[in-house]
């Protein structure tokens, strides 16, 4: 039909030249005409006026450890992220908030999570800092950039409201918090083959295709947004993958690529990664590799080795599929001629996850308010829940996690995991890519940073105005600093960065870090320049420094609604 229409618009009146032109058009095959049309469109795209302000692409991984991807020392095949790092910058001292909801709240608002109402997860603890829903005294990056003329899109995991169903209040769903278009899940976890709470804009849907895989669907919708965008204005695109968060789900052909790779076990894997991280300059050789977690047996003594290796094989396949999606998005931006002036962030919301899914999780997974699992697959098979050696993860009828041993490896060379604010919980691999602005690609940046800095950076590069009020409500000033000076390797002028989750607490100021486990745990003091892996507690040696930093932390905690505590003895 399109070809007939094209012919009709070219009908000659009497000119022999027009007749020849018409005959030439008729002689074209459909393939040739399609190629010609594509060429004309490409030329049109190239002739568009170049935008001075960049597009912004924010990509977030879920529960991925510091050393999992190749450019940060991992063995998992991540060529696309590695290429972004090669052509961009890697930040080695960047931090998150140790858990899904708090990190996402901090990332999108530029505030510490308690200031946005997300000191914990989506339950309401009836305290200002712990409401489990974004409050009205914060704005998201999407809300700020939308007012600055950006189109705003999101695909993937939201996890920033306690109201999951369309018949409940949607005030804090993506469409109501600044995004023009949304495809994804409202809850925090789900089957990759049949996700719960799957939503387009504000409407609940169900996955249709039997070949459905959530990581691929997130990528497809990102590509759709890029293709359909009006390039007379810039866009902000937030791609929030659930990979590699549990459950361990992947196609068998992707898992097969890693068959046998993890038969060496977690001890040797940690040593391999540690060595590569030193070679890459990610860590200083004077920082010791932490000892194996006391709950992890030596690999030689571990039972059920084939099952243990399988858990990591599936996890690696999940990470690789995410990397594949990132590659497709990059390719689409290149095709559109927009990669040069797109500021890309890639990072993780917390460290590797040591949660072991046990039989006691069954009722919460199926019937808890978070709606994270189904009892049966679409084919009617009953889902088998838990980390048990007779259940090999990967298929849709399993629901498992990779557990403590492999999380210990994912967080190489650091201590502890998601939930905790020692380095294993809060260190994130950050990649920043922006060819139009970054003049020294491939370099490392060691300036300490935090999720709160992403809002500040977006406001800076978008030349946006951060509001003092929004929708009639007063807005808290963002807490972060723009990372733009670090693109030229300049320092950031900040006093400290703060953390709290489930009573675990920390402050980083200069080379010093004060950290504690649980609200009643003793303070530990580390010199991060000398010992970023937190192996030598200096608290007994420097009591005045402990006192000074503890006072700073409590002043911050009172100001940002961390206190009063909602925790009873944790």
- At 527-536, the pLDDT tens digits run 999 999 999 9
Exposed (0-12), middle (13-18) or buried (19+): which is 56, by Cβ within 10 Å? buried
Average pLDDT over residues 308-336: 98
**Residues 470, 146: contact at Cβ < 8 Å?**
no
Query: pLDDT averaged over the chain?
Result: 92
Average pLDDT over residues 42-66: 81
Q: Take residue 215 and report the two structure tokens written for it.
A: 């990581």
Of 480, 502, 482, give the one whose Cα is nearest residue 102: 502
What per-residue confidence (pLDDT) applies to 111? 98
42 pLDDT more than 70 = no
Secondary structure (3-state) at 385: strand
% pLDDT > 90, the chain:
89
Catalytic residue positions, numbered: 100, 159
Rg (CA), the chain: 25
Q: What are phi and psi of 8, to 5 degrees?
A: -60, -35
Q: Take residue 466 and report the two structure tokens written for it.
A: 């951060």
pLDDT, one tens digit per residue, over 399-449 is 999 999 999 999 999 999 999 999 999 999 999 999 999 999 999 999 999
Specify the pTM.
0.91
Alpha carbons 497 and 482: distance in angstroms, whole number: 14
> Which element (helix H / strand E) includes 219?
helix 214-228
Specify the DSSP class assigned to residue 292. P
CA angle 255, 257, 260 (to 5 degrees): 90
pLDDT, one tens digit per residue, over 560-570 is 999 999 987 44
> Which element (helix H / strand E) includes 86?
helix 79-86
Widest CA span in the chain? 98
65 pLDDT more than 90 = yes
What per-residue confidence (pLDDT) applies to 567? 81
Q: Take residue 566 and report the two structure tokens written for it.
A: 């909602």
Sign of CA dihedral 392, 397, 399, 401: positive
Interstrand relation of 235-240 and 151-157 (parallel, antiparallel or unpaired): parallel
Alpha carbons 40 and 31: distance in angstroms, whole number: 14
Secondary structure (3-state) at 75: coil
pLDDT, one tens digit per residue, over 97-141 is 999 999 999 999 999 999 999 999 999 999 999 999 999 999 999
pLDDT, one tens digit per residue, over 217-274 is 999 999 999 999 999 999 999 999 999 999 999 999 999 999 999 999 999 999 999 9
**Residues 566, 130: contact at Cβ < 8 Å?**
yes
User: Look-up: residue for tokens 């990132």?
Assistant: 326
* Buried residues in 138-155 as b, exposed as e (16+ CB within 10 A): bbbbbbbbbebebbbbbb
Q: Take residue 266 and report the two structure tokens written for it.
A: 């977690």
Binned at pLDDT 50, 70 and 90, residue 359 comes out as confident
20 pLDDT more than 50 = no
pLDDT, one tens digit per residue, over 154-196 is 999 999 999 999 999 999 999 999 999 999 999 999 999 999 9
Q: Take residue 520 and report the two structure tokens written for it.
A: 């009643």
Alpha carbons 448 and 321: distance in angstroms, whole number: 29
Q: How many CA atoms lie within 13 A of 430 on its CB side?
A: 28
Of 323, 310, 326, 491, give the one whose Cα is nearest residue 402: 310
Secondary structure (3-state) at 327: helix
Alpha carbons 129 and 377: distance in angstroms, whole number: 38
């Amino acid at each position: 039909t399109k070809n007939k229409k094209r012919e009709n618009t070219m009908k000659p009146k009497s000119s022999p030249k027009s007749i020849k032109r018409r005959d030439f058009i008729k002689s074209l095959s459909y393939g040739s005409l399609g190629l010609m049309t594509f060429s004309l469109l490409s030329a049109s795209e190239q002739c568009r006026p170049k935008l001075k302000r960049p597009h912004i692409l924010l990509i977030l991984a879920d529960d991925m450890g510091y050393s999992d991807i190749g450019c940060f020392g991992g063995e998992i095949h991540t060529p696309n992220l590695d290429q972004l790092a090669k052509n961009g910058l890697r930040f080695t001292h960047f931090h998150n908030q140790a858990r899904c909801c708090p990190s996402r709240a901090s990332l999108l608002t530029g505030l510490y999570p308690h200031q946005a109402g997300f000191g914990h997860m989506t339950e309401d603890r009836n305290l200002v800092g712990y409401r489990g829903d974004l409050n009205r005294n914060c704005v998201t990056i999407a809300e700020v950039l939308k007012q600055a003329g950006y189109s705003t899109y999101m695909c993937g995991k939201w996890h920033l409201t306690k109201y999951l169903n369309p018949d409940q209040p949607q005030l804090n769903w993506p469409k109501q918090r600044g995004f023009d278009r949304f495809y994804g899940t409202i809850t925090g976890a789900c089957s990759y083959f049949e996700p719960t709470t799957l939503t387009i804009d504000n409407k609940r849907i169900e996955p249709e295709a039997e070949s459905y895989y959530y990581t691929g669907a997130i990528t497809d919708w990102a590509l759709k947004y890029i293709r359909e965008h009006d390039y007379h204005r810039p866009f902000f695109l937030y791609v929030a993958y659930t990979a590699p968060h549990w459950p361990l789900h992947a196609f068998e052909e992707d898992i097969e690529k890693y068959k046998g790779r993890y038969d060496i076990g977690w001890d040797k894997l940690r040593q391999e990664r540690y060595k590569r991280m030193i070679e890459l300059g990610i860590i200083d050789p004077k920082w010791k590799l932490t000892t194996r977690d006391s709950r992890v047996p030596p690999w030689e003594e571990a039972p059920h080795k084939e099952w243990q290796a399988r858990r990591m094989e599936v996890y690696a396949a999940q990470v690789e599929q995410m990397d594949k999606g990132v590659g497709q998005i990059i390719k689409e931006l290149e095709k559109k001629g927009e990669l040069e002036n797109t500021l890309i962030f890639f990072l993780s919301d917390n460290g590797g996850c040591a949660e072991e899914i046990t039989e006691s999780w069954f009722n919460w997974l199926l019937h808890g308010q978070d709606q994270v699992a189904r009892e049966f697959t679409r084919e009617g098979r009953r889902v088998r829940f838990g980390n048990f050696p007779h259940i090999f993860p990967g298929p849709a009828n399993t629901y498992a996690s990779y557990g403590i041993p492999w999380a210990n490896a994912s967080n190489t060379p650091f201590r502890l995991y998601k939930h905790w604010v020692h380095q294993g919980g809060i260190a994130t691999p950050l990649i920043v890519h922006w060819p139009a602005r970054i003049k020294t690609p491939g370099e490392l940046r060691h300036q300490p940073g935090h999720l709160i800095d992403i809002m500040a950076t977006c406001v800076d590069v978008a030349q946006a105005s951060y509001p003092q009020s929004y929708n009639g409500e007063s807005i808290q000033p963002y807490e972060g600093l723009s990372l733009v000076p670090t693109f030229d390797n300049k320092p950031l002028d900040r006093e400290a960065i703060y953390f709290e989750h489930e009573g675990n607490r920390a402050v980083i100021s200069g080379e010093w870090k004060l950290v504690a486990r649980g609200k009643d745990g003793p303070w530990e003091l580390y010199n991060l320049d000398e010992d970023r892996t937190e192996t030598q507690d200096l608290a007994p040696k420097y009591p005045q420094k402990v006192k000074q930093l503890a006072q700073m932390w409590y002043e911050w905690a009172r100001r940002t609604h961390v206190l009063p505590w909602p925790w009873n003895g944790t």
